[in-house]
Amino acid sequence: MKTITTTDALAAFCKEAAKRRYVTVDTEFLRERTYYSKLCLIQLAYQDADGDDACLVDPLVDGLSLAPLYELFADAGVVKVFHAARQDLEIFYVDEGIIPAPLFDTQVAAMVCGFGEQVGYETLVRKISKSDLDKSSRFTDWSRRPLTDAQAKYAVADVTFLRDIYEYLSDRLAKSGRAKWVAEEMAVLNDPATYQSNPEDAWRRVKTRTSSGKFLSIVRELARFRETHAQTRNIPRNRVFKDDALVEIASTKPQSEQDLGRSRLLLREARKGDIAAGIIKAVKDGLNTPADQAPKPDNIRAKLQVNPALADMLRVLLKATSDNENVAAKLIASSADLDALAAGERDIKALKGWRREVFGEEALLLCAGKVGLAVDGQKVVTVTLL
């Protein structure tokens, strides 16, 4: 294992990796004090190599370009293997606008292969590689240099054992015919929209108890200002103001810095300067929003007339399907999906792709009263109804 600190060394490593079928990738980053993740370390390992087949890449070194790595990420002949890839991929998308492809997420694959819901890397190492990980460096400041031996050992283990996990899971998927299931799930991770945060939609994350158009107009403008301010200055959105303060402001509708000074929840530094000016303008813009342009809450599902007995039966069917197929139930359908099904909704994830094959078709028959549920020994099975 070596630490790469020059572009030439990274290019040489990536050139060797490009000769292999796959490369395993992980990152270490910090996000507590910034809006965007600060990339502190990249771990890489490639398949079937003699000698130094794993490395740590130090992106904090002046003059190091990640261009060779991004070229490898774009190589269609090399599978890029991650575990729980979402945050890692966001870093590379924000930095260079690139999403590694083809992509394989071992957490998703493990759910398909019956390892449970959102299984952790440590669990897979223990069950597949029959090894234990030293996690003492899990909560550490990865921006500090030099790295300790314990940090380096911890970091490189996140990609060396990942090779065993990938080999095992990909083999199981090939034998079971479920590789296409994982490929369907990778489509979400390969979609740039997954990593884009649009200030226009930031208000949807704010929990409120009212559907008043005027109130939501102010919430939308405040959330938009906060998101833009945080992105521009690369600070956490809660450093601008928190959700509870946002809701308070939308209720009290302050018109001046003096009004802001009476807020119970607003941070002191937000009561003056650029943030205060942004808040006051957002409130004004929200108040001036025409009624026909006010945001409308996504409460369609909240108004659904759910048949509770049918919803319970669908949950039993899902549990039976999960057990019989050895697939994590959460991956097949969410509780909200089952309620929507029981209320007559059909445009849901559980009725598309591989989910429809293993669960959706029988769920629709159950909803239509064409099949029922029965106990056969230790299993719950569906029976055709006349």
Residue 137: per-residue pLDDT: 80
Q: If you average pLDDT over residues 23-46, what whole number do you get?
A: 96
Residues pairing with 351 in the sheet: none
Amino acid letter, 197: S
CATH label of the domain that carries residue 19: 3.30.420.10
Shared domain for 169 and 34, answered yes or no, is yes
Residue 242: per-residue pLDDT: 97
Residue 185: per-residue pLDDT: 95
Shared domain for 39 and 186, answered yes or no, is yes
Label residues 31-47 b or e (16+ Cβ within 10 Å = b): eeeebbbbbbbbbbbbb
Helix (H) or strand (E) holding 249: helix 243-252
**pLDDT per residue over 179-196, tens digit each?**
999 999 999 999 999 999
**pLDDT per residue over 42-57, tens digit each?**
999 998 655 569 999 9
Shared domain for 375 and 316, answered yes or no, is yes
∠ CA 242-246-248, nearest 5°, is 120
Residue 125: per-residue pLDDT: 96
Residue 302: per-residue pLDDT: 53
Shared domain for 121 and 186, answered yes or no, is yes
Residue 50: per-residue pLDDT: 57
Shared domain for 181 and 64, answered yes or no, is yes
Shared domain for 143 and 205, answered yes or no, is no
**pLDDT per residue over 149-172, tens digit each?**
999 999 999 999 999 999 999 999
Shared domain for 250 and 267, answered yes or no, is yes
d(CA 363, CA 350): 9
Residue 62: per-residue pLDDT: 96
Residue 339: per-residue pLDDT: 94
pLDDT band at 131 (very low <50, low <70, confident <90, very high): very high
Map residue 156 onto helix, strand or coil.
helix
Helix (H) or strand (E) holding 22: strand 22-30
pLDDT band at 378 (very low <50, low <70, confident <90, very high): confident
Helix (H) or strand (E) holding 220: helix 213-233
- Which of 260, 293, 326 is where one domain is finished? 293
Cα dihedral value 209, 237, 189, 75, nearest 10: 170
Shared domain for 54 and 175, answered yes or no, is yes
Q: If you average pLDDT over residues 15-38, what whole number do you get?
A: 96
d(CA 358, CA 332): 8
Number of domain units in the chain:
3
Shared domain for 229 and 352, answered yes or no, is no
Between 47 and 81, where is the model more confident? 81
Shared domain for 124 and 176, answered yes or no, is yes
**Which residues 6+ apart lie within 8 Å of 347 measured at CB?**
none
**pLDDT per residue over 210-236, tens digit each?**
889 999 999 999 999 999 999 999 999
Shared domain for 184 and 322, answered yes or no, is no
Q: If you average pLDDT over residues 13-23, what whole number do you get?
A: 96
**pLDDT per residue over 227-260, tens digit each?**
999 999 999 999 999 999 999 999 999 999 999 9
Residue 305: per-residue pLDDT: 85
CATH label of the domain that carries residue 358: 1.10.150
Label residues 153-185 b or e (16+ Cβ within 10 Å = b): ebbbbbbbbbbbbbebbbebbeeeebbebbbeb
- Which of 293, 311, 342 is where one domain is finished? 293
The mean pLDDT of the chain is 94
Residue 296: per-residue pLDDT: 86
**pLDDT per residue over 193-215, tens digit each?**
999 999 999 999 999 988 899 99
- Which of 156, 172, 195 is where one domain is finished? 195
Q: Is the pLDDT of residue 40 over 60?
A: yes
**pLDDT per residue over 270-317, tens digit each?**
999 999 999 999 999 999 999 999 998 765 555 678 899 999 999 999
Domain hosting 254: range is 199-293
Helix (H) or strand (E) holding 372: strand 371-376
**Which residues 6+ apart lie within 8 Å of 40 measured at CB?**
27, 28, 29, 30, 59, 60, 142, 143
CATH label of the domain that carries residue 209: 1.10.150.80
